Structure 1
Amino acid sequence: MTDKKMVFISSTGRTGTQFLADSLSEMIPQCRSVHEPGTLWLTKPKLFLENIKDFGLYHMSLGQLNPKYSMYTLSNLRAKGKISDDEAIHYIRKMRSHYIEKGAEELYIESSGHLFGVFDLIPQVFPDSKLIFIIRDPRNWVASALPTTEYILYGSFDWGLSVSAEDLKEDPYHDKWHNMNKFEKYCWWYNYLNRFVMERCKNLPNIRIYRFEDLFSKETKDGYFTNMLQYAVDGSSMEGQTYYDSNRLTKPKHSKKNSRNYQGWRQWGRYRVSKLMEHCSEFMLGYGYGGEDLWVQKLEKIDPKYRHFTLPQWFSPFYRIQGLS
């Protein structure tokens, strides 16, 4: 068993995970931070060659469809109920143990949206690891994800890999899936993924949740980002040695999106507002989103009930695990 300290960061994607991987190794001494290792990105040929050296050609080609070699495939198959926890734990260990051990740095940080389906199992593979989950305003997440050119979710190159309501017989949208457009499917995914993680991680001791907005907005980034850095290094030899660079947080990097197709929530009509709230109202309320006057006006035109919406019981225990206490 390795003596390395480990931190795993996950989210829905579109939350600065690439930026964190690029930045944390510069802010923390003796830290190796990586983004979605072993993942095939056709838009990043240089990274593809590096991954072949680390994981092998099969892993980086046909293996991407196999849960033994692809964290994304593994996460989705577990979310679909087609992989047992014991199998998933075995595959995580096989995919990561050697890769983590090969670095000389004391601290390993992996930032990856592909971990969502096995996030709660990571402490069983690496008992002393820490987890960080980042949540983003669902309105901005959907608006950002829809035009992203590298996002395969429910697109032409998804090939049924991503979990959907169609895979889940008990899901209320199981029979409606084929009639849902991509916007609504993204709203469903946001709710399903975040809830999947939260329900399974709520009793884990070493996990923190941060809002994307708290980490990167001008008004709050100093306190929250410093808090996250401290959490990452607590218990290691790097305690008190982190270098927080606020200038790097001005513009977190994301994968490419087609700005011509981007439409923020302020431009949304009745349909998009209603579908977003139909799927994501718990996260809107639970994480303090949606207080803008314009948004409230949009809601009142749809259904005044949202003024009196209350959180479901499952949400309450997890909401307290958030950034600064």
Structure 2
Amino acid sequence: MRAYLLSSALLMMVILGTGCVSNKKFAQLQSSYNNLANQNRELDGKYQTARRDLSGATARVQSLEEQIAAQRTSLAALQEALDRCLKSTSEGNVNISKLVDEINASNRYIQHLVNTKNKSDSLNLVLTNNLTRSLSREEMRDVDVQVLKGVVYISLSDNMLYKSGSYEILPRASETLSKIAKIIKDYREYDVLIEGNTDNVPISQKNIRNNWDLSALRASSVVQSLQNDHGVDPKRMTAGGRGEYNPIASNDTEAGKARNRRTQIIITPKLDQFMELIEKAPENTDSVPGDSLQPAAPVQR
């Protein structure tokens, strides 16, 4: 803008100073004036652009300064926390080497528990394989064997074990129970839970009040058969009934009801062995208590 006013003033001075000028001279002056005016507009545009850039740069600088201030505040807080931590460590006379040793000991114990569990799982798989190999194809239709979370579940259908609505064991179930008893006796360090389950159809027997009674009586019948007919130590066994309240299938279909009418033989390592592992770490992690879960004698096929 200043250049534009200056050029205008110069032009007026030239005209006034020389009086009348020739047309050629006037055209030259007019051309010069126009060029200067164009340059002035161009310079003014650059000036405005520079002002906007400067304003944006100023805002960015202010933002960066605020971020730097925030980072400095955060750094100061972290330094203060570190100083407190170092002071606390010094005042408490913490033995870092001892802490590392304790952490390593804990890690070794955790690995020991994992190894023990793996051994237990392996034994359960051996137990399962031995049992399934001993069962005939016909028996396998009524017997389901699974290992879930380190526990062996042997599920027996009610068709194989009892008459409908009864808890008396059928003679044909004796051979299958004898094979299961052989496995139980070989693994004498395992506990055995016999669990009766029913569908949701109400029972109509004079001496049986409901499905709770029926499921408990069926479990008790299996326990007594394993004890009296097949020599399983009764101290290792527990009988329980869950009635219709532990279904594995829908009771809306006959097939689902048939699956729910079952007696489960649950074989698991003794609870006190696991509690001992949890409550007290072994002095020598090279010795694995899981070895005590080995069967008393090789399983005969």
TM-score, normalization by structure 1 = 0.25
Q: Which has the larger radius of gyration?
A: 2
- Structure ranking higher in helix proportion: 2
Output the TM-score relative to the length of structure 2. Answer: 0.27
Considering Cα pairs closer than 8 Å and 6+ residues apart, tell me whether 1 or 2 has the greater RCO.
1
